Amino acid sequence: MTSELVFVGLGLSGTDGMTVKALNALKECDIIYAEFYTSTLIGTSPEDLEKAVGKKVNVLYRAQVEEGEDIIRDAMSHRVAFVTAGDTMLATTHVDLRIQAAEAGIPVRMFHGVSIFSGCPTSLGLQPYKFGRAVTLPFLERNYHPKSPYDHIMENKARGLHTMILLDIRADEHRYMTAHQAIEWLL
């Protein structure tokens, strides 16, 4: 068997948003892992992905990716895919997986997908280079209301830059922050 870790970004529209090269690479993999907690699949499901590639897709939650060893362990002796919505290299956890693979001597291939970081500005007619630091608004918890997202928005505004505001996702709890909740958060 071939040792390899293949990162595949599905883009913004699920199975029909990935490149043909990405689809072909997934069909060659022995094991397919996916996570949809950093970005949810829109208009598709893990089952749709399974139908497209003809293989089982193992959906992982945050702790399984961040603290688990399955992906790297399996990639030492198999061709393993790691799939996300958008582009896989936009989350620090995924970059860490890439680093772990390199340290273990596992070959890596990447198939980038369209992400919200390119799709949002271009669909609004805005130039990506006029954006400042992106911020994530987390769900508010008891005794937890960070001020830093608001501070970064104001810093971008003072510099004449747009701010991309990402809304919190708690996939394991089936909670997705709404625009209304985000506005309440900011107010």
Q: Sketch the domain layout of the chain as residue ranges.
A: 4-114, 117-186
Predicted local distance difference test score (pLDDT) of residue 61: 86
In the chain, which ranges are continuous DSSP H helix?
Answer: 20-28, 46-53, 62-66, 70-75, 92-103, 116-123, 148-158, 179-186
What is this structure's pTM?
Answer: 0.85
Predicted local distance difference test score (pLDDT) of residue 71: 96
**What single-letter DSSP state applies at residue 157?**
H
Distance in angstroms (rounded) separating the CA atoms of residues 156 and 134? 9
Predicted local distance difference test score (pLDDT) of residue 171: 79
Q: How many residues does the chain have?
A: 187
Q: What is 117-186's CATH topology?
A: 3.30.950
Low-confidence ranges of the chain (pLDDT < 70): 1
Q: Which CATH class is domain 4-114?
A: alpha beta
Predicted local distance difference test score (pLDDT) of residue 170: 86
Q: How far is CA 116 from CA 69, 77, 135, 187, in A?
A: 28, 33, 13, 24
Four-CA torsion 153, 173, 112, 53, nearest 10 degrees: -160
Q: Which of 38, 102, 87, 104 is nearest to 65 (CA)?
A: 38
Predicted local distance difference test score (pLDDT) of residue 183: 93
Predicted local distance difference test score (pLDDT) of residue 143: 87
